[in-house]
Structure 1
Amino acid sequence: MTDTLTPIPPEHPLRGRVTPPGSKSITNRALLLAALARGTSRLSGALKSDDTRYMADALRAMGVAIEEPDATSFVVTGDGQLRAPAKPLFLGNAGTATRFLAAAAALVDGEVVVDGDAHMRKRPIMPLVTALRSLGVEAVTDTGCPPVKIVGRGALPAGRVEIDGGLSSQYVSALLMAAACGDGLIEIALTGDQIGARGYIDLTLAAMKAFGAEAEQASFSLWRVKPTGYRAADFLVEPDASAATYLWAAEILTGGAIDLGVPANAFTQPDARAYDVIAKFPHLPDSIDGSQMQDAIPTLAVLAAFNEKPVRFTGIANLRVKECDRVSALSQGLSRIRPGLGSEEGDDLIVASDPALAGQTLPASIDTHADHRIAMSFALAGLKIRGVAIEDPGCVAKTYPDYWKALSSLGVKYEEEAR
């Protein structure tokens, strides 16, 4: 097992073609909706990673037939009903799977326990639990985080439910998808006007529509979902925009040309808006609001280390409740490269940019906190600085198992240290 992986800065621009994996966010939505549909759905271009395997295995445990004919396809066959699993659903540190299945468990006639690893057990889920309770669903958590016990009655009760989406849009998406299998019309209303990464709600609504649901956005903070259920469909998953950000950054850092096979403006995922920011390097804005492209912030923060002037990242408080506290992890990692390179002010991250870092040898061991995005983003620093060692590089399997191979295909070499 490789303990650390240290990229060797390439002496040439990175050029070539790399196809990013399928979108994790869309794959897990499509898997759940196909499982709730009657008939057989074929998902192509899908992501096969730790997060999507947790989702697929959980759905299998709830009585759904899922086949995997090739590396990017799922064939999902269901009868429109999920069953109570024989044991708790273990979902690792997969936030989408955990939140989505906690709401979907209300559609089961029986008890479901949704659980995860030690990291997932620190990630909040109380806003979703509170919303389910308000609809009359029995939902119990002792800590405000997983594990969560849900006792379903075969359908989500009709009515109006209010949800606090300030911490995560996943709570709203979870309710929206379950609501199409309700006893009647369900209204979902935000308790305030704050919602993390709102663009993911659009992904959810588009996926629901593809599987036959009818959901109307009545206002900025109100959705109405009809009890249509879902019908089977063939569904194409677009490439992962969050994964694409690493390749866009690698291209501009090395002056290369990396063909992703899809133009940036073809992505529908929120993180694709990072492309326009990356294109401004080395003249990134003084301040970058990360609220609507949260998973792209690690990429942008490491890129900012080489910018012409310092960069402040705002609107990123939600990053503290991701796979790890990413604000802290980024600050610490940057400052391991050079003391003071990263710092925190409240929930803001300040990067003390210095183009002269490029070409230096600055031995630094980066604690990834088992977070795939910390590992992949700090690999970018290793394209310009010699000695940046990525701890636990295998954690990229969560969303991009072939990440290191992808960089290698472009000519990046590594020094490896094994246990």
Structure 2
Amino acid sequence: MSSPPLAIIPPAHPLVGRVTPPGSKSITNRALLLAALARGTSRLTGALKSRDTTLMAAALRQMGVVVDEPDDTSFVVTSPGRLSRPDQPLMLGNAGTAMRFLTAAAALCDGTVILDGDDAMRKRPIGPLLTAMQSLGIAAAAPTGCPPVTVQGRGHFGSGRVEIDGSLSSQYVSALLMAAADGQGPIEVVLAGKDLDARGYVDLTVAAMTAFGAKVELVDRTTWRVAPTGYTATDFVVEPDASASTYLWAAEALTQGRIDLGVPIEAFTQPDAKAAQLIRMFPHLPTVIDGSQMQDAVPTLAVLAAFNATPVRFTGIANLRVKECDRIRALATELSRIRPGLGREDGDDLIVAADPGLAGQTLPARIETYEDHRIAMSFALAALRIGGIVILDPACVGKTYPGYWDALRALGVEMRQL
């Protein structure tokens, strides 16, 4: 059910203040799974509490893991070191990380595991991951190539060599790597086809695995060797979410403000932090931006580009078509709702016809968010400089940043629920 629309009034002042961004969704969901695979008790601090991480935690509880939540930014995970077969299907909404990671981890259960999601999830491809798992002798099937998925767990992940096409999603690679530490012997994960869509996220995975005691060797640029070490319970600190931080960096740039996030840009290890360098260039963003290695930052940059001095073409973003929605189409459509022709698709590229003169205008537009948190949060940035913008279903930001609207209010942005 959608939430009431939200009208945003452009502030007449620079946004100045301190905002603590939420913990990284990507790292939180990795750490939750690794803690669940580790015997003993692990304490995760600085973690994100959002729709996606709540779904991951709930699924782990269904598989016999104790997940306590002592405060708003912590999980305490106590596990026997193995996952039990759930009595009911794992319902994962539209949480892509949870679906991909748990599909591989389901092989570590004894018996049949069904993983399903909402209507949007049932359109998100998972075939390449299942093909890779099948090559290891794991029975895994999804008749449509998208969830629901049925996995016949056998208590381990096998051994040997597995090839995976990671061009559609790096999450397939991360899913295999994390499950591989519970193999019967060493497992080599090898990239097939073109390079990864977002290699930095695999680096995040390897770093988290290492923190939980796994041994992962990068054999070459396309091959990882994972030893069958299993995992060791540990205390783990989750860094702030770089994707969420891009909205605040962009809000600062658009309003010529000063927003202190409490952490220097250099401290982020997530790929989307690369967007900070581009945001610093505003209003002189490059005419071509390759978004392949910072895909979740593309909506932020695309809306920022609407106010740039020159048009911007976004390339390397074909995979945005299979995110929570078709983000290329959504961005083009909603930018053009503000002003016809402001955004357009060119194949799998997005072209933003920049116009600094948009700032200060009133251009009434009701922004459709497609149940996609990143569309809602990025178009709120346009409303900082353009009057008349209304965000539909604003509560969809709860997927990764439940406190987003409160953060903007704390910086002095006025809003009105319609």
Q: TM-score, normalised by structure 1?
A: 0.99
The 3-state SS of whatever aligns with 1:262 is: coil
- Give the structure 1 partner of residue 117 of structure 2: 116
Q: C-alpha distance in 2, partners of 1:9/1:232?
A: 48
Q: Distance in 2 between matches of 1:388 and 1:143?
A: 38
Q: How do 1:359-370 and structure 2 match up within 5 A?
A: 359-370=360-371
Deviations 1:299-333 (A, max 9, x none): 00000000001000000000000000000000000
Is residue 220 of structure 2 the alignment partner of residue 216 of structure 1?
no
Distance 1:128 1:270 in 2: 22
- Match in the other structure for 1:91: 92
User: By how many angstroms is 1:3 displaced?
Assistant: 1.9
Q: Which residue of 2 aligns with 1:127?
A: 128
1:306 and 1:385 mapped to 2: Cα distance? 10
Residues 165, 194 of structure 2: 8 Å contact kept: no
| 1:392-411 to 2 correspondences below 5 Å | 392-411=393-412
Is 1:275 aligned to residue 276 of structure 2? Answer: yes
Summarize deviations over 1:197-238 as a string: whole Å, max 9, x none.
100001000000000000101011000000000000000000
Partner deviation per Cα, 1:109-134 (whole Å, 9 max, x = no partner): 11101110000000000000000011
Q: How many angstroms apart in 1 are the aligned matches of 2:69 and 2:284?
A: 45
2:373 maps to what in 1?
372
Aligned pairs for 1:112-261 within 5 A: 112-261=113-262
Q: CA deviation at 1:6?
A: 1.6
Aligned position for 1:388 = 389
Please say if 1:342 is aligned against 2:352: no
Q: Percent identity?
A: 71
Paired letter, 1:214: K
Tell me the equivalent position of 2:44: 43
Q: Tell me by how many angstroms 1:363 deviates.
A: 0.4
**Matched residues in 2 for 1:415 and 1:234: separation?**
42
Residues in 1 aligned to 2:307 and 2:7: alpha-carbon distance in whole angstroms: 19
- Return the offset for 1:156: 0.3
AA paired with 1:212? G
1:18 paired with 2:15, answer no
Q: How far apart are the structure 1 equivalents of 2:301 and 2:55?
A: 29
8 A contact 1:100–1:173 mirrored in 2: yes
Q: Within 2, Cα distance between the matches of 1:104 and 1:2?
A: 34
**1:14/1:254 contact within 8 Å kept:** yes
CA deviation vs aligned residue, 1:268-307 (integer Å, no higher than 9, x gap): 0000000000000000000000000000000000000000
2-structure distance, mates of 1:2, 1:124: 28
Aligned length: 417
Distance, in Å, in 1 between the alignment partners of 2:192 and 2:358 is 45
CA positional deviation for 1:2: 4.2
Cα deviation for residue 79 of structure 1 reads 1.2
Q: Determine helix, strand or coil for the equivalent of 1:313.
A: strand
Offset at residue 192 of structure 1 (A): 2.1
Structure 2 letter corresponding to 1:317: A
The 1-side partners of 2:364 and 2:195 are apart by 41
The residue type equivalent to 2:313 in the other structure is R
In the alignment, the residues of structure 1 paired with residue 58 and residue 378 of structure 2 have an alpha-carbon distance, to the nearest angstrom, of 29
TM-score by length of 2: 0.99
User: Who is 1:27 aligned against?
Assistant: 28
SS at match of 1:68: strand
Distance 1:198 1:366 in 2: 32
Please state how far the C-alpha of 1:413 moved relative to its aligned partner.
0.5
- Equivalent in the alignment of 1:72: 73
Aligned to 1:102: 103
Q: How far apart are the structure 2 equivalents of 1:196 and 1:160?
A: 21
Matched, 1:57 2:49: no
- 1:315-372 CA deviation, whole Å, 9 max, x = no partner? 0000000000000000000000000000000000000000000000000011100000
- The whole-number CA distance in structure 2 between the counterparts of 1:23 and 1:121 is 25
Secondary structure at the counterpart of residue 4 of structure 2: strand
Unaligned runs of 5+ residues in structure 2 are none
Asked whether the equivalents of residues 67 and 76 of structure 2 are also in contact (C-alpha less than 8 Å), the reply is yes
Could you give the per-residue CA deviations for residues 88-120 of structure 1, whole angstroms, max 9, x where no partner exists?
Answer: 000000000000000000111111011100000
- Structure 2: how far apart are the matches of 1:43 and 1:29? 11
Partner Cα distance (2:48, 2:406) in 1: 16
Deviation, 1:69, is 0.3
Q: Structure 2 counterpart of 1:279, which letter?
A: R
Deviation sequence 1:50-71 (CA, Å, 0-9, x none): 0000000000000001100000
Q: Which residue of 2 aligns with 1:416?
A: 417
Q: Equivalents in 2 of 1:247, 1:181: separation in Å? A: 39
SS across alignment from 2:87: coil
Secondary structure of 1:404 counterpart: helix
Do the aligned residues in 2 keep the contact of 1:14 with 1:411 (CA within 8 Å)? yes
Query: Once the 2 structures are TM-superposed, how far is the Cα of residue 193 of structure 1 from its aligned partner?
Result: 3.4
Aligned amino acid, residue 131 of structure 1: A
Question: 1:286-301 to 2 correspondence within 5 Å?
Answer: 286-301=287-302
Q: Aligned partner of 2:211: which letter?
A: A
> How far 1:415 moved relative to its partner?
2.1
Structure 1: any 5+ residue segments left out of the alignment?
Answer: none
Deviations 1:11-51 (A, max 9, x none): 00000000000000000000000000010000000000000
SS at match of 2:378: helix
Structure 1 outlier segments of 4+, above 6 Å:
none
